[in-house]
């Protein structure tokens, strides 16, 4: 008899989650460096990034029991880097973005990113958004695969507008919400 697994809880991050968020970020940075690409290799994101996201109420954590299993930044403000795309967005309406998405290294490959994407899309629909957008490094094959699996369409290439990685190209995806 098949059993259904209860989805993990996703909640607005609190200051007490930041240490775990930084640890997961450090794991992700090391993993990307080991894969040979420079995403998240210039001091971003860092503790200050996550503290600011938590203070703004835009950081979310996925909890597995009392442990942080993953996290991401959700926002509905327009993304400056998304104003110009080499390609085309699927919608022109209001959109939400997912940034700084990562899961604990010990839990990779278990569908957690898919759960995060599903949560963000449901939240965006409830917030009245037409779509959800996300970007990643072209060499970040696992994230690109996760985006495609979750129903995001590859729309083109954007250029990061600010922060330590400003000027870097990223592949951009969008999922239209029904």
Between helix 112-126 and helix 141-149 the angle, nearest 10°, is 50
Q: Where are the domains of the chain?
A: 9-176
In tens digits, what is the pLDDT along the chain, a chain of 178 residues?
Answer: 444 455 589 999 999 999 999 999 999 999 999 999 889 998 899 999 999 999 999 999 999 988 999 999 999 999 999 999 999 999 998 999 999 999 999 998 899 999 999 999 999 999 999 999 999 999 999 999 999 999 999 999 999 998 888 889 999 999 999 8
pLDDT attached to residue 97: 98
With respect to CATH, is domain 9-176 assigned 2.40.50.140? no
């Amino acid at each position: 008899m098949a059993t259904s697994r209860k989805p993990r809880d996703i909640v607005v991050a609190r200051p007490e989650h930041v240490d775990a968020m930084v640890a997961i970020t450090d794991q992700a940075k090391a993993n990307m460096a080991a894969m040979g690409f420079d995403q998240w290799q210039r001091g971003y994101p860092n503790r200050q990034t996550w503290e600011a996201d938590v203070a703004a109420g835009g950081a979310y954590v996925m909890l597995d029991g009392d442990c942080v299993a993953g996290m991401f930044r959700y926002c509905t403000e327009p993304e400056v880097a998304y104003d110009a795309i080499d390609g085309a967005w699927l919608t022109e309406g209001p959109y939400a973005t997912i940034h700084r998405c990562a899961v604990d290294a010990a839990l990779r490959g278990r569908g957690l990113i898919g759960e995060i994407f599903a949560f963000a899309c449901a939240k965006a629909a409830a917030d009245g958004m037409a779509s959800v957008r996300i970007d990643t490094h072209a060499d970040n094959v696992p994230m690109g695969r996760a985006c495609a699996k979750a129903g995001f369409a590859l729309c083109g290439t954007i250029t990061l507008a600010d922060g330590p990685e400003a000027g870097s190209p990223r592949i951009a995806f969008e999922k239209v919400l029904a």
